[in-house]
Structure 1
Amino acid sequence: MIHTIQPRSGTAFVVNKGQRLKVIDPEGEQVADLYAFNANDKTEFMSSGRSLDYNESLHFKTGAKLYSNLSQVMFEIVEDTVEDHDFLLTPCSVDTFKHFYPDETPVPGCYGNLVAAFADYDIPAHHVGTTFNTFMNVDVDETGKIAVLPPKSKAGDYTVFEAKMDMIVGLTACSAGESNNFRYKPIQYEIIDAPGEVTR
């Protein structure tokens, strides 16, 4: 079953070990912020630093692994039609909008949407860290300057993550203009059960 996350919103759900999470960009050029906690130990959570270190790369594509703060693999990317994502930048927030978009009315952003979604699992706000920004196109030039560019994803593109542990997963349809070429669109996702089990 394919679920739709409405523009500028987010949700949280459980993904079990062996299941696959398919994140879909139905209209193109839309970022989805992904974050996760070990369902059996919420002190273990997705780590940008560990993932960048152990993959020895800023680029994440098929075969890349997303690690926890305890150096355990949480997800492996097993299919990817885009192979262009970001794991450097924090999820957008009210403060992001005040900083980069001072003429706009601030919205909760991905951080606020994740905080609200994870609250249903008794996960406090300060535990939400740097997200895996699926489909986000971030360029780092030779001087170290960071630029957020329009995503390369086209309508129907997707990334499939295989769960390596039971997790509570948060996912958003990103709210920041620069990240989505100043258009706000939905994100879709599907949880695909392990072989031999019934897909839901």
Structure 2
Amino acid sequence: MTVSTQRIPPQTGAGFELRRGDVLVVIDPQGEQVADLMAFAAEGREEWLSSGRTFDYNETIYLTTGHVLYSNRSRPMFTLLRDDVGQHDFLLTPCSTETFEILYPPGTAEGHPSCFGNLVAAFAPYGIAPDQIPTTLNIFMNVRVDERGRVVIAPPLSRAGQRLELRAEMDLVVGLTACSAEGSNNGTFKPIDYQIIRGQDRG
């Protein structure tokens, strides 16, 4: 079986569809690069990947192999099949123009690509509006929470070629980015690769 690899260039995004049983493989080809992922049910855009439901039902904020990711309607959306890194974030929203205005030096926001903007573009052909995009699963993002609840963003732990594999548990519309925030990617911008292994091709 030959599976093609698609590349998302630095600071851009892509939108695509998955069928139930398909496996999405997200690969960090060069290391220390975050990928923001969001998904909506193909049958209705009112159902989306939910960080709150996922944390609640897994009883942890640190998601890895074997965990199930749930929708806002408490239905399984993905199962994590393989996790080479073991550190991802589902607390923080995708970076936006406002992120750079508020958290970065003055003037940074002007013309700066963002994951939110890239997801808006990726989802537009599917009729998904900007206000429908919630907190994303930030693959490979290294967010630590201290004993006082303070959030610290550290360099990603991912090395070149490491991956996260997610099996779709329903038909989905998916947006995926190569993150645009300097602070999340150790100061550099690199591509993200992905593969789609169709359910009927597995075995």
TM-score w.r.t. structure 2 length? 0.95
Question: Which residues of 2 match residues 142-161 of structure 1 at below 5 A?
Answer: 142-161=147-166
CA deviation after TM superposition for structure 1 residue 65, in Å: 1.1
Give the aligned partner of residue 51 of structure 2. 48
Give the aligned partner of residue 21 of structure 1. 24
Give the aligned partner of residue 81 of structure 2. 78
Deviations 1:129-151 (A, max 9, x none): 00000000001001111000000
Partner of 2:11, secondary structure, is coil
CA deviation after TM superposition for structure 1 residue 180, in Å: 0.1
**Identity of paired residues, percent?**
51
Distance 2:67 2:41 in 1: 19
Deviations 1:26-53 (A, max 9, x none): 0000000000000011111010110111
Deviations 1:1-27 (A, max 9, x none): 100000000011001100000000000
Correspondence 1:32 to 2:54: no
Equivalent residues, number: 198
Q: CA RMSD in A?
A: 1.3
Distance 1:197 1:34 in 2: 23
Correspondence 1:170 to 2:192: no
Whether contact under 8 Å (2:40, 2:49) holds in the other structure is yes
Partner of 1:53, secondary structure, is helix
Correspondence 1:113 to 2:118: yes
Distance 1:130 1:121 in 2: 19
CA deviation after TM superposition for structure 1 residue 83, in Å: 1.1
Distance 1:124 1:52 in 2: 25
Deviations 1:77-135 (A, max 9, x none): 00110011000000000000011113324424101100111001111110000000000
Question: Which residues of 2 match residues 189-200 of structure 1 at below 5 A?
Answer: 189-194=194-199, 196-197=200-201
Structure 2 runs not aligned, ≥5 long:
none
Q: Select 2:66's aligned residue among 36, 49, 63.
A: 63
Q: Which amino acid aligns with 1:144?
A: G
Structure 1 runs not aligned, ≥5 long:
none
TM-score w.r.t. structure 1 length? 0.96
Give the aligned partner of residue 135 of structure 2. 130
Question: Which residues of 2 match residues 178-189 of structure 1 at below 5 A?
Answer: 178-189=183-194
Distance 1:127 1:178 in 2: 25
Distance 2:149 2:86 in 1: 21
Distance 1:141 1:55 in 2: 20
Distance 1:125 1:117 in 2: 10
Q: Select 1:90's aligned residue among 89, 93, 97.
A: 93
